[in-house]
Amino acid sequence: MNILCIDIGTTSMRGILYNELGSIQGIKSILTPLVFRGSYIEQKPEVYLDGLLEICDTLQRYGEIDAISLTSLRSVVTLADAGGEALTNFIMWQDDRNSHIVENLKKYDAEIHQTTGTPVNTVFTAGKITWMKDNLPEIYQKAYKAMIVPDYLIHYMCGTWKTDRSYGSRTNLMNLKTGEWDEKMLEIFNIDKEKLCDLVDTGIVGSTNSTFERETGIRKGTPVISSGGDQQNSALGLGEMDSSSMVINCGTGSFILALADQPYLENPAMMCNVSAMKDKYIIESNVMSSAASLNWLIKEFFPDEWHRGNANYDNINDIAASSPIGANGVICVPLFQGCGSRDWNQNARAGFFNISLGNTRADIARSLYEGIAAEIALSIYSFPEEYQKADKIMIGGGMTKSDFFDQVLADVTGRKLYRYSDSQASAIGAFMNAAVALKIYDSYYEAFAAIRRETIPHCFTPFADHHDFYEGYLEEYERLNKTINH
């Protein structure tokens, strides 16, 4: 049996065709550059549909597709009519046009967090839907459903109106304890329940219809699995199946995750979402801008390393590594898109400090890597103490392909970090979820053992003297952050 796993990220989507043993039969990646309209950050719906069709067309050449498993970025929403046609561009998770709505609802923050596991924030879906209702009333009234990206593609493939609870727990609208849309939250955000898709668990959500068969050649009746959010699946794909480990996934933004058996609601700054694993929860902290910050730096300061949206990261890593630890005194606070769950301050901004005429571009580059690592380290300190004692931290995502960054991250956090050579953690999580749903394997542990067989992760061990330096560095970093953002 071949399983097509589709992993949709912020600026790219990819399909990986696995056989039932977890061996890769083929890969197709597609860039999905964002649409910027003034301060708005959007994506055209056809980008996702065209990408889905191209992936299916390409990967069928490597073998028959027997099932499709989907994992996606979260909190990215459009309005669609009764036929499933999108009526607006998708509003991306980074888009903060709803900031005034969020600010007005801060008085409900404690209640929202205790009910949904997430504080009121511009990132989450509810505030975006409220903005559309207030600013696009005719479109809102015409709309049949508000849909995030996986809902939209699942409807296209199957004709169903379903969203799984891992995404529902990122909306500010789902009661984390009951797993259903919460009437009080709907009232607070002024959203009509009938505009929302039906909540279901991760697993098989339908089968492909005749229209999809005509479009792609994939036979009607092929099962479609909703595997949950990309970050939940990255945790699963990196082996986070109990509370003995943590995961750091560094992509456009960075996400620090730990698994829990029960909802964790004690810390109002932390997010608690439904896991990709059934009956489990994810405790999560985020850093809003990681690779996005690095891409900005390369584009603006290293144009020779930037070509048509692609960067030569190997050269940048070498340039940054030529600067000594501490970047010759330069400190970067990389809050280019606001501060994430450490402070939930969407108005926070970035800054470079202590720059003199003696500093170089290499110092600036290294300071950015160190600043991203500092944000991750400080986010870890927000977790409950039992998780801070985790005996291993798994890392994944595009930024962790850099040995240089991974060593900096190990030195700043003072922890051993483990990285698999296959960085497609979200797609691996989607394979595991599909393999269990289709009863190819009896458990996530068996599925993980199959796809990660004979794979030993590389360990990055912190240098003691470097970590000693960074302990003082973190104090100065936080002082500078508070100077400009408080």
Q: What would the mean pLDDT of 436-463 be, rounded to a whole number?
A: 93
Beta-strand pair 162-164/24-31: unpaired
Using pLDDT thresholds of 50, 70 and 90, give the confidence band for residue 307: confident
pLDDT at 321: 97
Q: How far is CA 235 from CA 211, 327, 398, 441, in A?
A: 34, 32, 15, 19
Q: For residue 442, what are its two tokens?
A: 């009896």
Q: For residue 157, what are its two tokens?
A: 């493939």
Q: How far is CA 423 from CA 107, 235, 268, 397, 438, in A?
A: 41, 12, 31, 6, 24
- CATH 3.30.420.40 range(s) for the chain read 2-229, 239-419+456-486
pLDDT at 328: 98
**pLDDT greater than 80 at residue 164:** yes
What value, to the nearest 5°, has the Cα angle with vertex 258 and ends 289 and 392? 95
Collect all residues with Cβ–Cβ distance below 8 Å to 82 and sequence separation of at least 6.
144
24: closest CA among 374, 361, 380, 453?
A: 453
Contact 130, 101 (CB under 8 A): yes
What value, to the nearest 5°, has the Cα angle with vertex 419 and ends 418 and 423? 155
| Cβ burial 346-368 (10 Å sphere, 16+ → b, else e) | bebebbbbbbeeebeebbbbbbb
Fold of 239-419+456-486: Nucleotidyltransferase; domain 5 (3.30.420)
Contact 245, 391 (CB under 8 A): yes
Max Cα separation, the chain?
Answer: 66
Using pLDDT thresholds of 50, 70 and 90, give the confidence band for residue 242: confident
CB atoms within 10 A of CB 138: 8
pLDDT at 327: 98
Each residue's pLDDT tens digit, 349-370? 999 999 999 999 999 999 999 9
Beta-strand pair 223-229/67-72: parallel
Q: For residue 128, what are its two tokens?
A: 């975006």
| Backbone dihedral angles phi then psi of residue 387, each to the nearest 5 degrees | -80, -30
pLDDT at 345: 85
**pLDDT greater than 90 at residue 252:** no
Contact 91, 79 (CB under 8 A): no
Amino acid at 373: A
CA 346 – CA 244 distance, rounded (Å):
32
CA 53 – CA 45 distance, rounded (Å):
13
Q: How far is CA 75 from CA 9, 128, 220, 378, 464, in A?
A: 12, 9, 30, 24, 40
CATH 3.30.420.40 fits 2-229, yes or no: yes
What value, to the nearest 5°, has the Cα angle with vertex 221 and ends 217 and 225? 100
DSSP string, 347-389: T---EEES--TT--HHHHHHHHHHHHHHHHHHHHTTS-HHHHT
pLDDT at 356: 97
CA 124 – CA 171 distance, rounded (Å):
5
| Backbone dihedral angles phi then psi of residue 339, each to the nearest 5 degrees | -95, 135
Each residue's pLDDT tens digit, 107-127? 999 999 999 999 999 999 999
Using pLDDT thresholds of 50, 70 and 90, give the confidence band for residue 173: very high
Mean pLDDT of the chain: 95
**pLDDT greater than 70 at residue 309:** no
